[in-house]
Structure 1
Amino acid sequence: MNVSIIGTTGYGGGELFRLLYHHPVFNIHSVHTTREEIPLNEEFPHLNGITDINLEHIDPEKIAKHSDIVFIAAPSGVSSKLVPAFVDKGIQIVDLSGDLRLESDEYRKWYKHEPVSDDILAKAVYGLTEWNKSNIANATVLSNPGCYPTATLLGLAPVVQEKIIDPNMIIIDAKSGASGAGRSASKKLIFSEINENLRIYKVNEHQHIPEIEQQLRIWNDNVGPISFNTHLLPITRGIMSTIYVKLTETYTTESIIELYREIYKDSPFVKIRPQGNFPEIKEVSGSNFCHIGLHVDERTGRLTIVSVIDNLIKGAAGQAIQNANIMNGLDESKGLEFIPLFP
Structure 2
Amino acid sequence: MADVERSVSTDPFILMEIIRLQTEIAKHGLDLSGVVNAVVERIPTITNAEGAIVEYAEGDEMVFRGASGITRPLLGMRIKRDASLSGRCVREGQILRSDDILTDPRIDGGPCEQAGIRSIVVAPLKHDGSTVGAVKIVSTATYAFTARDVRVLELMSDLIAAAMFYAARNETNALYLQATHDSLTGLANRSLFFDRLRHRVSPGRRQIEHLGILIIDMDGLKHVNDNCGHRAGDAAIREMALRISRIPRKTDVVARLGGDEFGVILGEISDQVDLLAIVERLSRETDQPFRFEDRTLHLTASIGHARFPDDGSDVDALLEAADRSMYEMKRTRTLRSSQSELSHKHVF
Q: Give the TM-score of the pair, scaled to structure 2.
A: 0.28
More helix by percentage: 2
Q: Give the TM-score of the pair, scaled to structure 1.
A: 0.29
Larger CA Rg, structure 1 vs 2: 2
